[in-house]
Amino acid sequence: MGLQTVIRALFPPQCLLCEAWVAEAGGLCPECWRETEFLTGVLCDSCAAPLPGLEADIAVQCDTCLSTPPPWRHARAVMRYSGRGRHLVLALKHSDRTDIAPGAASMMHRAAHDIITTESVFVPVPLHWTRLAKRRYNQAALLAQALAKQTGAQAAVGALHRSKRTRSLGGLNADARARELDATIVVAQPQAVLGRHVVIVDDVLTSGATLRACARTILQAGAAHVDIVVLARAAPQA
7 part of a folded domain: no
The answer, yes or no, to whether residue 122 has pLDDT greater than 60, is yes
The answer, yes or no, to whether residue 221 has pLDDT greater than 90, is yes
Q: How far is CA 58 from CA 40, 48, 66, 75, 111, in A?
A: 15, 14, 15, 15, 17
Average of per-residue pLDDT across 215-225: 96
Q: Which domain holds residue 117?
A: 20-233
3 part of a folded domain: no
Q: How high is the mean pLDDT of the chain?
A: 88
| Structural domains counted in the chain | 1
Q: Would you state the pLDDT for residue 170?
A: 57
Tell which wins on pLDDT, 96 or 180. 96
The answer, yes or no, to whether residue 219 has pLDDT greater than 80, is yes
The answer, yes or no, to whether residue 5 has pLDDT greater than 60, is no
DSSP state of 43: B
Q: Which candidate, 41, 46, 21, places its Cα nearest to that of 31?
A: 21
Q: Would you state the pLDDT for residue 19?
A: 79
Neighbouring residues of 122: CB distance < 8 A, sequence distance ≥ 6: 144, 145, 147, 148, 153, 154, 155, 156, 199, 201
Its pTM stands at 0.88
Q: Report the range of poorest mean pLDDT among 47-61, 128-142, 158-172.
A: 158-172
14 part of a folded domain: no
pLDDT band with cut points at 50, 70 and 90 for residue 142: very high
209 part of a folded domain: yes
Distance in angstroms (rounded) separating the CA atoms of residues 156 and 122: 6
Q: Please report, for the domain that includes residue 103, its CATH number.
A: 3.40.50
DSSP state of 158: T
Distance in angstroms (rounded) separating the CA atoms of residues 144 and 166: 23
Q: How far is CA 199 from CA 29, 66, 108, 122, 232, in A?
A: 29, 21, 12, 5, 16
Q: Would you state the pLDDT for residue 164?
A: 77
Q: Would you state the pLDDT for residue 163?
A: 85
pLDDT band with cut points at 50, 70 and 90 for residue 168: low
73 part of a folded domain: yes
Contact present, 38 and 78 (Cβ < 8 Å): yes
Helix (H) or strand (E) holding 9: helix 3-10
10 part of a folded domain: no
40 part of a folded domain: yes
Distance in angstroms (rounded) separating the CA atoms of residues 133 and 135: 6
1 part of a folded domain: no
Count the alpha carbons within 13 Å of 78 in the hemisphere toward its beta carbon. 25
